[in-house]
Amino acid sequence: MSAARIATVTPVAEDEATGKVAEIYADIRRTKGIAFVPNMWRVLATNADHLELVWSRLKAVMHPEATGRAAILTPREREIIALAVSATNGCAYCVNSHTAALRKLGMDVSTLGEVMAVVGLFNSTNAIADGYRIEPDVLPPLD
Amino acid sequence: MSAARIATVTPVAEDEATGKVAEIYADIRRTKGIAFVPNMWRVLATNADHLELVWSRLKAVMHPEATGRAAILTPREREIIALAVSATNGCAYCVNSHTAALRKLGMDVSTLGEVMAVVGLFNSTNAIADGYRIEPDVLPPLD
Amino acid sequence: MSAARIATVTPVAEDEATGKVAEIYADIRRTKGIAFVPNMWRVLATNADHLELVWSRLKAVMHPEATGRAAILTPREREIIALAVSATNGCAYCVNSHTAALRKLGMDVSTLGEVMAVVGLFNSTNAIADGYRIEPDVLPPLD
Amino acid sequence: MSAARIATVTPVAEDEATGKVAEIYADIRRTKGIAFVPNMWRVLATNADHLELVWSRLKAVMHPEATGRAAILTPREREIIALAVSATNGCAYCVNSHTAALRKLGMDVSTLGEVMAVVGLFNSTNAIADGYRIEPDVLPPLD
Amino acid sequence: MSAARIATVTPVAEDEATGKVAEIYADIRRTKGIAFVPNMWRVLATNADHLELVWSRLKAVMHPEATGRAAILTPREREIIALAVSATNGCAYCVNSHTAALRKLGMDVSTLGEVMAVVGLFNSTNAIADGYRIEPDVLPPLD
Amino acid sequence: MSAARIATVTPVAEDEATGKVAEIYADIRRTKGIAFVPNMWRVLATNADHLELVWSRLKAVMHPEATGRAAILTPREREIIALAVSATNGCAYCVNSHTAALRKLGMDVSTLGEVMAVVGLFNSTNAIADGYRIEPDVLPPLD
């Protein structure tokens, strides 16, 4: 790929977006309070319906205040989950994005280290539990 | 495996534990405030050094108050990460255990649903970002 | 690694291949109708037996017409599976290769977006089903 | 867990569903043409907003005819992707569900064997490509 | 599924196998020195070509002495890799099978514990390295 | 990130390390017999407690001679497991590091090819076993 390629498809540039794509780009910038549209969304825009599906779901889950839903988890808890999942899957794009979001929320590198300590610990115990085929403990009813 | 088997190896029963294993079993019950030793630890006890390695690390990360370290993340944040990692890896033993821990910390099923909503969302976007080979956004320096 | 390195080992260049490796390189170019041997095969050639094992299997599965076997799945269906697996595993080399194969088969970016929509959706529901330990539905016998 | 438990939480039974949950249950039965609500949805119903988010997305992606969107991929292609992703992630609930869907669409066990052959092949090559850190081939522009 | 079901498809019983499937069943029993055909192969037999592809590859890689190839890795090393991969992927069928193979080769539970210690450790560091997007070290040329 | 960035956080340079971090850096160089501190440890050093946790565990598991524990697995077996896990997870940093370790232990590229052949084979069969929901074989008791 040439230097300008950022994915296996050519993303839709912000100044080329029209119709539904342009509206969603504007909503992304407004909802997230950022001045540019991240690569993810410009790549998804190669299929406008898919862009709409992913954005509407992410907006509902991660920006509930923008959709009128009462949030239970805090923004920090939500981004911590996002980073834990992304680290476990080894997704570089996503790790970059969610680390930045946590830093923006005020998390310092020492706390980030604790997040990684927990992520590392349980990726370890997950493999061990599966590697021995350990049966789940029988626990008292949860509800 | 017979009905009594809970793993690919025969776990060390609580009343058969001696020496280092017995000490760790006692520490597990005391530190976690539970009356029994979960399957995980009884299976790990088939290699006492491994039991010690995993328990000492888990104790340090998940029960910092018991090791004299000042905690930054809350117990709820740590268990949320544990569940997010376990769901992503599909580890049944671990999902069972960390869901129980969150319920014990007071999390209701509606909040658990939000945790799963975030876990589900980012397993989705991780696959999409990787499936298009999307390059990480160039972001301002974090620190 | 220096700029010329494309892997953790030094690949076998096309003009340095001899014997079994040279024969397989020729078969790869002929079977796939391409003018060069992709990096994957030149890396595998560092162990000629492994090259033969992987190529003979890939040829049988993906190019059944070249091995005299009647194909059931279409080439497009096979490449769609390849891309879905590669996106789920986050394998950059493989995503690149199978996206190119699908484009060569005529798939446009809008259809590629639908593939990614399905891939994303089920990576999401997989994590949720595992994250709640949902038991499989009891379904009527399949055959 | 007692015999009646099918997950880490107590699912919402069909005859106990009210309001938004009851409406979605009815939509699931109608859209999928089935007489019961699968375990997945009854578990998701423990958080009605999450149920709505996942169902509305799955309906849009997998039942486009029900949402007025023109489908590009065939139902068989969509279910093949679902099974490939679920096999790769090792999700038992999802493998069960999508195998049943493919059988309902008329796929016989021999064709299912071809799907698994392709899934198995690329899980293999993915690990090998990553295990050697093979750089993506530089390919001609795709569009 | 009824009690007799062991998979999403009905396996081919040993006394029902004919032609190519019967020949491969005999080769599996002979090559592995076992009195029965494991579930894996009886399920693969629902597509005889797939059975042949997987068995011929597994025989070449894991039983090189039976195919006249000089082995480099020892049987123990090969089974250790098989278990490490299966634990990492969380595949219950495979963990069961490769643990049994290692025990048959004489590995005791203490050594198995060391294998799991290494598997657990690197599943941990993998997630941490990916979770911080750590760049590979520049190392001296390998060959 | 600027050219000097090697991760999402700024690593602690060797000549800036003090106190516990400096001591661990020295121990890493001494135990591993290398002249520099790899990126992994310099990134972990952003949280000194985490650095200590991961290094003490890796030292115990991978350098037992340095901690006075009798080793059962050979160094080659331990590094083979590390590479198998890293290839399966697709962790580029880790693949790079463990391939180098195996080369340093004398493994040639042909043997490395055998390792990858086994890794590739079982990533394949893992997905197939899970993709058919194959039940584990009932095997004789292991101990």
Cα E12 to the center of its chain, rounded Å: 20
Low-confidence ranges of chain C (pLDDT < 70): 1-4, 140-143
- The mean of the pLDDT values for chain A is 94
How confident is the model over D51-75, as a mean pLDDT? 94
- Mind listing the pLDDT tens digit for each residue in F31-90? 999 999 999 999 999 999 999 999 999 999 999 999 888 889 999 999 999 999 999 999
Secondary structure of chain A: what % helix, strand, coil (to 5)?
Answer: 65, 0, 35
Q: Which two tokens stand for residue F136?
A: 């584990």
* Interface membership of E143 toward C (CB under 8 Å): yes
**Inter-chain contact A126–E130, Cβ cutoff 8 Å?**
no
Chain B residues lying within 8 Å of E113, measured CB to CB = 44, 46-47, 49-50
Q: How far is the C-alpha of F117 from the C-alpha of F108, rounded, in Å?
A: 14
CB atoms < 10 A from the CB of F123, how many? 31
pLDDT of residue E69: 83
Query: To probe the interface with F, which of D80, D83, D114, D124 has the most F CB atoms within 10 Å?
Result: D124
* Radius of gyration of the CA atoms of chain F, in A: 19
* Residues listed for chain D: 143
Q: Does F78 touch chain E (CB under 8 A)?
A: yes
SS3 for B2? coil
Stretch D22-40: mean pLDDT = 97
Whether residue B80 contacts residue A122, with contact meaning beta carbons closer than 8 Å, is answered with no
* Angle A84-A85-A91 from CA coordinates, rounded to 5°: 105
First to last CA, chain E: 54
- Our CA-based measurement puts residue F89 at a distance from the nearest CA of chain C, in whole angstroms, of 8
Is there a contact between B57 and A121 (Cβ–Cβ < 8 Å)? yes
The pLDDT value given to residue E76: 97
User: Would you call D96 an interface residue with chain E, using a CB distance cutoff of 8 Å?
Assistant: yes
In chain D, the residue whose alpha carbon lies closest to the alpha carbon of C139 is D100
- A15 contact B CB<8A: no
Nearest to B44 by CA among C115, F13, F40, A125: A125
Output the CA angle B14-B16-B21, nearest 5 degrees. 70
Tell me if A80 sits within 8 A of A102, measured CB to CB: yes
DSSP state of C110: H
The C-alpha torsion from F2 through F5 and F9 to F10, rounded to 10°, is -110
Of C138, F33, B35, B106, the residue nearest E1 (C-alpha):
C138
Confidence class of residue A1 from pLDDT cuts 50, 70 and 90? very low
On whether the CB atoms of residues D11 and D42 are closer than 8 A, the answer is yes
Summarize pLDDT for D71-124 with one digit per residue, the tens. 899 999 999 999 999 999 999 999 999 999 999 999 999 999 999 999 999 999
Instruction: Give B-chain residues touching A110 at CB under 8 angstroms.
Output: 72
Asked if C90 contacts D122 with a C-beta cutoff of 8 angstroms, the reply is no
F2 and B141: CB-CB below 8 Å?
yes
User: Which residues does chain F have within 8 Å of residue D86's beta carbon, measured at their own beta carbons?
Assistant: 131
Residues A41 and A5: beta-carbon distance below 8 Å: no
Report CB contact under 8 Å: B8, E117.
no
Counting residues of chain F whose pLDDT is more than 70, the rounded percentage is 94
∠ CA C87-C90-C96, nearest 5°, is 65
- Of the partner residues F83, F131, F133, the one whose CB lies closest to the CB of residue D131: F83
Shortest Cα distance, chain D CAs vs residue A9, angstroms: 7
Instruction: Give the per-residue pLDDT at D104.
Output: 95
Sign of CA dihedral B143, C2, C5, C8: negative
Q: How far is CA D137 from the centre of its chain?
A: 32
Is C53 within 8 Å of E57 when comparing Cβ atoms?
Answer: yes
How many Å is the Cα radius of gyration of chain E?
A: 19
Taking residues D34-52, what's their average pLDDT?
97
The span from the CA of A137 to the CA of B41, in Å, is 11
Kindly tell me if the per-residue pLDDT of E34 is higher than 90.
yes
Q: Which of B122-126, E4-8, E135-139, F3-7 is most confident?
A: B122-126
Residue A119, token pair as written in the block:
């992520």
For residue A62, pLDDT beyond 80: yes
Asked if pLDDT for residue F3 goes beyond 70, the answer is no
Residue of D nearest to C82 (CA): D122
**Inter-chain touch E86–F130, beta carbons under 8 Å:** no
Q: Are A44 and A54 in contact (CB under 8 A)?
A: yes
- The C-alpha atoms of residue A137 and residue B137 are separated, in whole angstroms, by 43
Kind plus residue range of the DSSP H or E element containing B81: helix B75-89
> Which residues lie below 8 Å from residue E23, measured CB to CB, with a gap of 6+?
none
Between C96, C120, C123, which is nearest B133 by CB?
C96
**Residue type, position F81, single letter:** I
CB contact under 8 Å between B91 and E95, yes or no, is no
Chain C hits for E141, Cβ within 8 Å: 1-2
A142 — phi, psi (to 5°)? -90, -25
Residue C70: the pLDDT is 83
Matching residue, tokens 């997987």? E54
Sign of CA dihedral D128, D130, D132, D137: positive
Residues of B with CB below 8 A from C126's CB?
90, 123
Q: If you write DSSP's letter for every residue of A45-84 in order, what string do you get?
A: TTSHHHHHHHHHHHHHHH-GGGGTPPP-S-HHHHHHHHHH
Q: What does the pLDDT look like over E64-113, one tens digit per residue?
A: 999 888 889 999 999 999 999 999 999 999 999 999 999 999 999 999 99
CB contact, 8 Å: C125 with chain B?
Answer: yes
Distance of CA C68 to the CA centre of its chain: 20
C-alpha torsion angle, residues B101, B105, B107, B108 (rounded to 10): 90
Q: How far is CA D84 from CA B62, C104, D100, D123, E89, in A?
A: 36, 22, 14, 10, 15
How many angstroms away from the CA of C53 is the closest CA of chain E? 7
Substitution target from C88, C93, C121, C130 for chain B, most B beta carbons within 10 A:
C130
pLDDT at residue C141, rounded to an integer: 60
pLDDT of residue D142: 57
CA atoms in the 13 A half-sphere facing the CB of A78: 20
Identity of the residue in F77, F126, F143 whose CB atom sits nearest the CB atom of E77: F77
What is the ipTM for the molecules in this complex?
A: 0.95
- Judged by DSSP in three states, F42 sits in helix
* pLDDT at residue E3 is higher than 80: no
Tens-binned pLDDT, residue by residue, of chain B (143 aa):
344 579 999 999 999 999 999 999 999 999 999 999 999 999 999 999 999 999 999 999 999 999 888 889 999 999 999 999 999 999 999 999 999 999 999 999 999 999 999 999 999 999 999 999 999 998 866 55
Contact list, D49 vs chain B (CB under 8 Å): 113, 117
User: pLDDT tens digits, residue range A103-112?
Assistant: 999 999 999 9
Closest CA to C135 of D11, B111, D17: D11
D138 in A contact zone (CB under 8 Å): yes
CA distance E71 to F113: 12
CA dihedral F109, F115, F116, F120 (to 10 degrees): 170
SS3 per-residue string spanning chain D:
CCCCCCCCCCCCCHHHCCHHHHHHHHHHHHHHCCCCCCHHHHHHCCCHHHHHHHHHHHHHHHCHHHHCCCCCCCHHHHHHHHHHHHHHHCCHHHHHHHHHHHHHCCCCHHHHHHHHHHHHHHHHHHHHHHHCCCCCCCCCCCC
pLDDT of D140: 67
Task: Determine the residue of chain D that is closest to A69 in CA distance.
Answer: D49
Residues listed for chain C: 143
C-alpha F9/C-alpha E132 separation (Å) is 7
Q: Is E130 touching C (CB cutoff 8 A)?
A: no
**Where does residue C139 rank: exposed (0-12), middle (13-18), buried (19+ CB within 10 A)?**
middle
Mean of the per-residue pLDDT values for chain D? 94
- The pLDDT value recorded for residue E70 is 83
Cα separation, C95 vs C101, whole angstroms: 10
